[in-house]
Amino acid sequence: GAGVSQSPRYKVAKRGQDVALRCDPISGHVSLFWYQQALGQGPEFLTYFQNEAQLDKSGLPSDRFFAERPEGSVSTLKIQRTQQEDSAVYLCASSPRRVRSTGELFFGEGSRLTVL
Partner 1 sequence: QQQVKQSPQSLIVQKGGISIINCAYENTAFDYFPWYQQFPGKGPALLIAIRPDVSEKKEGRFTISFNKSAKQFSLHIMDSQPGDSATYFCAASKETSGSRLTFGEGTQLTVNP
Q: Which is nearer to partner 1, 45 or 80 (CB)?
A: 45
Q: Which is nearer to partner 1, 99 or 116 (CB)?
A: 99
User: Which neighbouring-strand residues pair with 45?
Assistant: 35
Q: How far is the CB of 73 from partner 1 (least distance, A)?
A: 18
Across the chain, where does the E strand assignment appear?
5-7, 10-13, 19-24, 31-37, 44-50, 53-56, 65-68, 75-79, 88-95, 106-107, 111-115
Q: How far is the CB of 29 from partner 1 (least distance, A)?
A: 11
Residue 65 corresponds to which amino acid? F
Binding site for partner 1 (CB under 8 A): 4, 31, 33, 40-45, 48, 50, 55-56, 91, 93, 95, 97-105, 107-110
